[in-house]
């Protein structure tokens, strides 16, 4: 593979000329939200679009850098904001960089011992996701939230661990303000 250029549309937050698109609707997010009753009601009423990922392919080998743009749409299940599924890297000693392009949101990160970090993101914010930390992004606004992710192409994505354990904290809307609360479903094992 040789050099190439990518272009992000800063109005839409979308990576133009992407190679693949991942679409996540509410029905794809079973067990991600804490309020099961609110989730079931929402998904039965309308299978809303939660987020899309626009990916540019590079070989999944050491030394290559992959990049993708994710757009999370506004919405909530109960008080919990729309979010990505979240993941660890299957190659756990790999880091990642996130750059906010559009909107407002945040990234919640957790290590295997349950230590949590939450950082707000606005256009121009760049977040370093350290190796060995799971990470999930959250749209805390009433508009689309878009960010660029840059990561080692061979990092891999482990979504299953998050599906089983969840995150130690939830990111919720409490009286119009973003707040972190304990996740009653967090499985520490």
Render pLDDT for 135-186 as a digit per residue (tens, 0 to 9). Answer: 999 999 999 999 999 999 999 999 988 888 889 999 999 999 999 999 998 8
Question: What pLDDT does residue 112 have?
Answer: 85
Question: What pLDDT does residue 187 have?
Answer: 79
Q: Assign domain 8-182 one CATH number from 3.40.50.150, 1.10.3210.10, 2.60.120.10, 1.10.3720.10.
A: 2.60.120.10
From CA 3, how far away is CA 17, in angstroms rounded?
A: 15
Stretch 86-112: mean pLDDT, rounded?
96
From CA 181, how far away is CA 188, in angstroms rounded?
A: 16
Q: What is the 8-class DSSP label of residue 89? A: -
In which order are the strands placed within the sheet that holds 133-139? 116-121, 105-111, 133-139
Question: What pLDDT does residue 161 have?
Answer: 87
Name the pLDDT band for 189 (thresholds 50, 70, 90): low
Alpha-carbon torsion, ordered 160, 26, 39, 108, to 10 deg: 50
Let me know: does 156 contact 78? Beta carbons within 8 Å.
no
H helix or E strand, kind and range, residue 100: strand 96-102
What is the DSSP secondary-structure string of 107-134?
Answer: EEEEETT--EEEEEE-TT-EEEE-TTEE
Alpha helices in 12-152 (DSSP H): 36-45
42 phi, psi to nearest 5 deg? -65, -45
Render pLDDT for 2-30 as a digit per residue (tens, 0 to 9). Answer: 999 999 999 999 999 999 999 999 999 98
Q: Is the pLDDT of residue 45 over 80?
A: yes
From CA 189, how far away is CA 180, in angstroms rounded?
A: 21
In this prediction, what percent of the chain has a pLDDT beyond 90? Answer: 88
Residue-range domain boundaries for the chain: 8-182
Q: Give the rounded distance of the alpha carbon of 120 from its chain centre.
A: 13
**Given CA atoms 162, 126, 180, 175 in this order, what sign does their dihedral have?**
negative
């Amino acid at each position: 593979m040789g050099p190439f250029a990518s272009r992000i549309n800063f109005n839409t937050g979308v990576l133009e000329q992407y190679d693949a698109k991942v679409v996540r609707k509410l029905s794809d997010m079973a067990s991600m939200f804490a309020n099961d009753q609110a989730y079931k009601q929402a998904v039965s009423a309308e299978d809303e679009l939660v987020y899309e990922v626009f990916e540019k392919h590079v070989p999944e080998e050491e030394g290559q850098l992959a990049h993708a743009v994710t757009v999370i749409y506004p919405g909530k299940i109960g008080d919990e904001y729309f979010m990505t599924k979240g993941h660890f890297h299957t190659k756990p000693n790999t880091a990642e960089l996130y750059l906010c392009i559009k909107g407002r949101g945040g990234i919640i990160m957790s290590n295997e011992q349950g230590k949590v970090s939450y950082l707000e993101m606005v256009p121009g914010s760049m977040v370093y996701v350290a190796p060995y930390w799971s990470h999930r992004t959250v749209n805390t606004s009433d508009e689309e939230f878009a960010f660029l992710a840059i990561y080692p192409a061979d990092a891999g994505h482990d979504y299953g661990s998050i599906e089983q354990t969840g995150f130690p904290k939830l990111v919720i809307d409490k009286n119009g303000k973003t707040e972190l609360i304990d996740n009653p479903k967090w499985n520490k094992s």
